[in-house]
Amino acid sequence: MSIPAPLTGVVPPVCTPLTPDGEVDVPSLVALVDHLVTAGVHALFVLGSTSEAAYLTDARRRLVVETVAGHVAGQLPVLAGAIDMTTPRVLDHVASVTAAGADAVVTTAPYYARTHPAEIARHYRLLAARSPVPVLAYDLPVGVHSKLSAELVLELAADGTLSGLKDSSGDLGAFRSVVLGARARPDLAGFSVLTGSELIADSALAMGADGVVPGLGNVDPAGYVRLDRLCREGDWAGARAEQERLCALFGMVGAGDPARMGAGSSALGAFKAALHLRGVIACPLTAEPQVPLSEDEVERVGKYLAAAGLL
Amino acid sequence: MSIPAPLTGVVPPVCTPLTPDGEVDVPSLVALVDHLVTAGVHALFVLGSTSEAAYLTDARRRLVVETVAGHVAGQLPVLAGAIDMTTPRVLDHVASVTAAGADAVVTTAPYYARTHPAEIARHYRLLAARSPVPVLAYDLPVGVHSKLSAELVLELAADGTLSGLKDSSGDLGAFRSVVLGARARPDLAGFSVLTGSELIADSALAMGADGVVPGLGNVDPAGYVRLDRLCREGDWAGARAEQERLCALFGMVGAGDPARMGAGSSALGAFKAALHLRGVIACPLTAEPQVPLSEDEVERVGKYLAAAGLL
Amino acid sequence: MSIPAPLTGVVPPVCTPLTPDGEVDVPSLVALVDHLVTAGVHALFVLGSTSEAAYLTDARRRLVVETVAGHVAGQLPVLAGAIDMTTPRVLDHVASVTAAGADAVVTTAPYYARTHPAEIARHYRLLAARSPVPVLAYDLPVGVHSKLSAELVLELAADGTLSGLKDSSGDLGAFRSVVLGARARPDLAGFSVLTGSELIADSALAMGADGVVPGLGNVDPAGYVRLDRLCREGDWAGARAEQERLCALFGMVGAGDPARMGAGSSALGAFKAALHLRGVIACPLTAEPQVPLSEDEVERVGKYLAAAGLL
Amino acid sequence: MSIPAPLTGVVPPVCTPLTPDGEVDVPSLVALVDHLVTAGVHALFVLGSTSEAAYLTDARRRLVVETVAGHVAGQLPVLAGAIDMTTPRVLDHVASVTAAGADAVVTTAPYYARTHPAEIARHYRLLAARSPVPVLAYDLPVGVHSKLSAELVLELAADGTLSGLKDSSGDLGAFRSVVLGARARPDLAGFSVLTGSELIADSALAMGADGVVPGLGNVDPAGYVRLDRLCREGDWAGARAEQERLCALFGMVGAGDPARMGAGSSALGAFKAALHLRGVIACPLTAEPQVPLSEDEVERVGKYLAAAGLL
């Protein structure tokens, strides 16, 4: 299916449940998709950071897309990350995920390799020229170590290279520049501006963002669907209350001890522990070399769920 | 074959010649290997940064290792980069390059994903436990955005995880801490400490490094072989003169206009232009999305070659 | 005078007009203060980044505070930056600005020196113990190269060290964590949470921020005063329209050519050019070694003013 | 006195002994200077990083220069750091330290303020035009967060702006580019190229550096004087042995617990503890907000001294 232009609403970055030996747990993945679709989300984003794409082998990545695209069978759009270091490697992923059924791809600027703004622009132009599906830029400075400027995003939108932006930079001021820049041009009416922030989804929607891609949306998809609806109805007080409830729930990402593990292990471990505690997935394991949460840390996750009325 | 313990001498990171349409140019790669082996290098390192590993698809990576390992046929050791973001993906590359004939693998800490020192240690331990060949750590902060501390390297050497270090951090003080730390323990006598610096190979060898992995060694392997021999003979004045000649030659990495391209495009473009001008490879192309050198810039490369007596 | 707890409303970071030979232009500074006060701002912040505090000698800093505090004479609170690298040096500035009449000080974490979270906490505790006026933390990662975590800010608020936060990190998610964390504790009812962002002042106020500290507020103080009032009245559509007008005006910060100058020279040069074009200050000069705007670049600033109805 | 051109030999960055209440301990500072001069050092560098310049108030800075310059009374050159964020503030320090007797000033690029290469060049040109004494550039990326490129340093040397470079970047390859670039031009014969590294002083001297500025030189000045002499005599084996002894001694910088303090607190605390244990200074205190070493940590410093035959 083609993706809406613009793509709007709640687009959770789908966690990738794993078996105890690190393989994709297909039944749990299907159950998670059902959990999200039932809650009313508007599209799915697989193979992003929350999906642990960086930790999945090519075979596992393919299986994820096949599973999800096959299961939703066109009921709602499936976007897939094509996460790799440079153009030729990303193009291999584009071929793989589109063959497996993805409706659009989401890709970062080059990383690991030293880059230059001219090379980032060239990267996206080459990708767009060869991708059979729309390309959205993924702005993730914490991983990529460069920031996509609003100017570059709008330039690549205007020439048809990019169909949208998934912004995980945390910089809402720059994000707003893209929102306003896109709105100022009638030919960019279909350009999708999506935020990856869990904590300021209401702010992003209030300023005109098309949609939200919250990792926490795995744990509480109904919450983000409500938040999105309240924003579209202009009920800002209601939206703020719902957002604040989700902010409190998001505190779970700090469950892991920072002396023992990185922020990624803690956040992804918490999301998966929450999904396990809620009975959605069979095993809370995160991929290697991430450090698993301890029993005490899982218990802390449970307290966040309970406080939010989810357990 | 097994690699020497320690591995010593000149181990050039082999450039990957490409055809005009971006495929691996196998005859040129074979010619380049002959050019290096004839000059007397002691081992080969494929799929490192200078090899544009970050830009090569998995199929092209495999072809590179098969070609080089097949061609040298055990005459000298072949190390291969297994460059990817996290443990499961690196393990796929380890399987691929060892099946294709690599004698050892060289791997970085996790990148793109957020990491923690405990996760870096866990990453290397998991790799070593599952790799059929020795694992060398690749310290490349400019790409990985974290630095391997001397303490961690020595800890992982002491417990048998790491067989060596390929240091491209530019931090010769920290490098010396590894050299001295390894020498202080008889059980680490076989641990290989290699520098990736073109400009201070003589300094590294003088302080006890086992070998050098200079990208410029593609262009002038005989120069680095001479430099290594002079150092081993204790002819420090001669070594310094040879090193200074190579430093002047290294100026070619600045041939590309920084307003138009990144430092990587310029440096790799210059090495390949030099190999093309010297008649070793058929086409100087670098992989996408790197920006190619202009004719004027290639001419500048030629002047460096001429000044060094290589053209 | 004591500062309100919490401090609310619009608190512009006051530009420091200079004479052609780089001295503080006292009459222009007084005129600028009148321009701001007349527009209805709620407090003034001198010696922050927008004030070019980093570029002002100690004598010029003192003159700025004396001039502004003397001129407003208690009509509204005057906060002053005490910007320096470490505790002892900051304490000298605290003594100087409070002697000159500042009602509160705003200070960053240590910089230039290598820091550790424990040292940042110790820094603020030592400052607060010795400052005769309230201390607000200034979170400015672009200058300081570390980020104040929400946890640390709330810990230092809870023990009475900090009276407020001036957040210029651009990270509105982390900012919200401070807002919500402070609101959750009745004993922190007087803690002031202020954003330094020009582009998302409405979002910050909507989520419960106490006030805004926008550099662009020098150029259009009436706009930010209107925005603040609309937010307090809950007129979110009106606030958004006003904010979007200010976002367009903020485009002036890109007036300077990035090939010729840094982002600071361009932004501060634009604010001062705008104040000069609007007839508020006598000379648009920024301090050395910043690069001045060219005539063409000043003309671009004028177009932004005209488009916003300010010229 | 004028400084030699080039300045050669051992130029220790003089620690600043403090009294228990944080004032400059003048008698201890004089004793430390005597300790250094007696050991045969060739010049003194006050108010650098090792001197805790970032932590000293202006009054304390002035007292340090007056004390040291007054005490050595022209026996050997005294260089002084003029460490501040931007040109106008640095110029105040230049005036102060030269009035107090400094023979040359050492200054970084601007920091805290956002910079651009053109602004860095302008900064140094303005300083040199107004300084009554020679200006050396201080390359300290860990504090300044930008690196002085070899090209810029050589350009500013060639036009007479800079008289030398004090390199604390750790990047010996870039350092060598300055050494070789300066040597290639007869008009730069008097340009001083100095390394701040403790661990690779022999390497730097072997490649043609003029001198060394090792913080550890406070603790063991005689060691660095011997090292310098051995290098000048071409006794590279002897130099290497001496350097390796000093490398082992340098291990003391890790005495402080990284969970409790930053690397600066640990390193400076260790140098001062060592000077105290050796009976040179009266009190090992470092300036606020640095965290002091514990008794156990001081004991570890003592073991390093004992192992090096210094206690």
Give the CA angle between residues D216, D217, D219 to the nearest 5°.
70
Express each pLDDT in D57-115 by its tens digit: 999 999 999 999 999 999 999 999 999 999 999 999 999 999 999 999 999 999 999 89
Taking the Cβ of residue A207 and every Cβ of chain C, the question of whether any pair is shorter than 8 Å is answered with yes
Of residues A28, A26, A62, A23, the one with CA closest to residue A46:
A62
Chain A residues in contact with B60 by the CB 8 A cut-off are: 88
Do residue A114 and residue B262 have CB atoms under 8 angstroms apart? yes
pLDDT of residue D169: 97
pLDDT at C114: 86
What pLDDT shows up at residue C2?
87
Question: Residue C163 class from Cβ within 10 Å (0-12 exposed, 13-18 middle, 19+ buried)?
Answer: buried
Sign of the Cα pseudo-torsion (D46, D48, D52, D55, in order):
positive
How do residues A151-160 score in pLDDT, each as one tens digit?
Answer: 999 999 999 9
Nearest residue to A178 via CA among A215, A198, A152? A152
Q: Searching chain A, which residue's CA lies closest to the CA of residue B49?
A: A113
Q: Closest Cα partner for A53 from A101, A103, A107?
A: A107
Query: CA-based angle C162:C168:C172, to the nearest 5?
Result: 95
- Is 90 exceeded by the pLDDT of residue D1? no
Judge whether residue D273 has pLDDT over 80. Answer: yes
Helices B58-72 and B87-99: angle between axes, nearest 10 degrees: 40
Give residue D177's pLDDT band: very low, low, confident or very high (50, 70, 90): very high
Please list every residue in chain B whose beta carbon sits closer than 8 Å to the beta carbon of residue A261.
116, 118-119
Tokens of B286: 């670098």
Give, for A166, the enclosing helix (H) or strand (E). strand A164-167
Q: Which chains sit next to B, with 3 or more Cβ pairs under 8 A?
A: A, D
The whole-number pLDDT of residue A7 equals: 98
pLDDT digits (tens, 9 = 90+) for A165-174: 999 999 999 9
User: Taking the CA of residue A102 as centre, how many other CA atoms within 13 Å lie in the half-sphere pointing to its CB?
Assistant: 30
C57, D89: Cβ pair inside 8 Å? yes
For the CA atoms of D170, D176, D181, D187, what is the dihedral angle to 10 degrees?
80
**Predicted interface score ipTM higher than 0.95:** yes
Q: Is the bond leading into B77 cis (omega within 30 degrees of zero)?
A: no
- Is-contact D26 C58, C-beta < 8 A? no
* Residue B53 Cα distances to A112, B10, B28, angstroms: 10, 20, 17
Which residue carries 């310049």 as its tokens? D53
Q: Is the pTM of this model over 0.95?
A: yes
Measured between CB atoms, does D92 come within 8 Å of chain C?
yes
Kindly report whether the peptide bond that precedes residue D6 is cis, defined as omega within 30 degrees of 0. yes
**Which residues of chain B does A54 touch, with a Cβ-Cβ cutoff of 8 Å?**
85-86, 89, 110, 112-113
Sign of the CA dihedral with C163 first, then C169, C170, and C174 last = negative
Write the Ramachandran bin of B145: left for phi over 0, alpha for psi from -120 to 50, otherwise beta: left
Residue D60 forms contact with C (CB below 8 Å): yes
C119 close contact with D: CB closer than 8 A: yes
Cα distances from B209 to residues A94, B9, B159, B214, D300, in angstroms, run: 43, 9, 21, 13, 29
Cis peptide before C289 (omega within 30 of 0): yes
Contact at CB, A207 and C240, closer than 8 angstroms? yes
Q: Do B114 and A88 touch (CB under 8 A)?
A: no
Q: Looking at residue B114, what is its pLDDT?
A: 86
Distance CA B121, CA B131 (A): 15
The DSSP secondary-structure symbol of C4 reads: P
| CA-based max dimension of chain B | 53
pLDDT of D69: 98
pLDDT digits (tens, 9 = 90+) for A268-281: 999 999 999 999 99
Please give the pLDDT value at position D105: 98
Written as one letter, the residue type at B286 is T
- D120 inside 8 A of chain C by CB: yes
Helical packing angle, A58-72 and A87-99, nearest 10°: 40
Closest Cα partner for B246 from B215, B281, B205, B280? B215
pLDDT digits (tens, 9 = 90+) for A105-114: 999 999 999 8
Interchain contact A114–B (C-beta under 8 A): yes
| Chain center to CA of B266 | 17
Is the confidence at residue A1, as pLDDT, over 80?
A: no
Closest CA to C291 of D84, D158, D86: D86
- CB contact (8 A) between residue D289 and residue C261: no
Half-sphere exposure of A207 (CA within 13 A, CB side): 31
- Does residue B262 belong to the interface with chain A, where contact is any CB pair within 8 Å? yes
- Can you say whether residue C101 is alpha, beta or left, with left for phi > 0 and alpha for psi between -120 and 50 degrees? left
Task: Tokens for A2, please give them.
Answer: 């083609």
Query: What would the mean pLDDT of A238-247 be, rounded to a whole number?
Result: 98
Q: How far apart are the first and last CA of chain B?
A: 36
Taking the C-alpha atoms of residue D134 and residue D161, their distance in angstroms, rounded to an integer, is 8
Tens of pLDDT, residue by residue over B29-52, are: 999 999 999 999 999 999 999 999
Closest CA relative to residue B132, chosen from B94, B100, B160, B106 = B94
Task: With beta carbons less than 8 A apart as the criterion, state whether B112 and A110 touch.
Answer: no
Chain D neighbors of C54, CB-CB under 8 A: 85-86, 89, 110, 112-113
Which region holds residue C288: left if phi is over 0, alpha if psi is between -120 and 50, else beta?
Answer: beta
Residue D2 has pLDDT above 90, yes or no: no
In contact, C6 and C191? CB cutoff 8 Å: yes
pLDDT tens string C46-84: 999 999 999 999 999 999 999 999 999 999 999 999 999
Q: Is residue D240 over pLDDT 80?
A: yes
Measured between alpha carbons, how far is residue C31 from residues C75, C217, C302 in Å?
Answer: 16, 15, 20
Amino acid letter for position C242: E
Q: What percentage of chain D has pLDDT greater than the value 70? A: 100
The predicted pLDDT at position C1 comes to: 75
What local confidence, expressed as pLDDT, does residue B1 receive? 75
Per-residue pLDDT at B13 exceeds 90:
yes
3-state secondary structure chain D: CCCCCCCCEECCECCCCECCCCCECHHHHHHHHHHHHHCCCCCEEECCCCCCHHHCCHHHHHHHHHHHHHHHCCCCCEEEECCCCCHHHHHHHHHHHHHCCCCEEEECCCCCCCCCHHHHHHHHHHHHHHCCCCEEEEECHHHHCCCCCHHHHHHHHHCCCCCEEEECCCEHHHHHHHHHHHHCCHHHCCCEEEECCCCCHHHHHHCCCCEECCHHHHCCHHHHHHHHHHHHCCCHHHHHHHHHHHHHHHHHHHCCCCCCCCHHHHHHHHHHHHHHHCCCCCCCCCCCCCCCCCHHHHHHHHHHHHHCCCC
pLDDT band at D280 (very low <50, low <70, confident <90, very high): very high
D82 touches chain C (CB under 8 A): no
Q: How close, in Å, is residue B252 to chain A by CA atoms?
A: 17
Task: Please give the C-alpha separations between residue D182 and each of B170, D6, D210, D231, in angstroms, as whole numbers.
Answer: 21, 11, 11, 20
Rounded CA-CA distance A65/A47 in Å is 8
Comparing CA positions, the residue from C115, C164, C167, C112 lying closest to residue C140 is C167
Is the pLDDT score of A292 beyond 80?
A: yes
Looking at this protein, which amino acid is placed at residue B240? R
- The pLDDT-based confidence of B262 (bands split at 50, 70, 90) is very high
Q: What are phi and psi of C147, to 5 degrees?
A: -110, 135
Backbone angles phi, psi at C105, to 5 degrees: -120, 150
Closest chain C C-alpha to A33 CA, distance in angstroms:
27
pLDDT bin (cut points 50, 70, 90) of residue A102 is very high
CB contact under 8 A, A262 and B85: no
Q: Which two tokens stand for residue D106?
A: 């050492």
Q: Pick out chain C residues at pLDDT < 50.
A: none
Contact D213, D48 (CB under 8 A): yes
CA-nearest residue of chain A to B109?
A289
Long-range contact set of residues C26-31: C-beta below 8 Å, sequence gap at least 24: C26/C63, C26/C67, C27/C282, C28/C280, C28/C281, C28/C282, C28/C283, C29/C64, C29/C67, C29/C68, C30/C67, C30/C71, C31/C280, C31/C281
What dihedral angle (degrees, nearest 10) is formed by the CA atoms of D117, D121, D124, D127?
-110
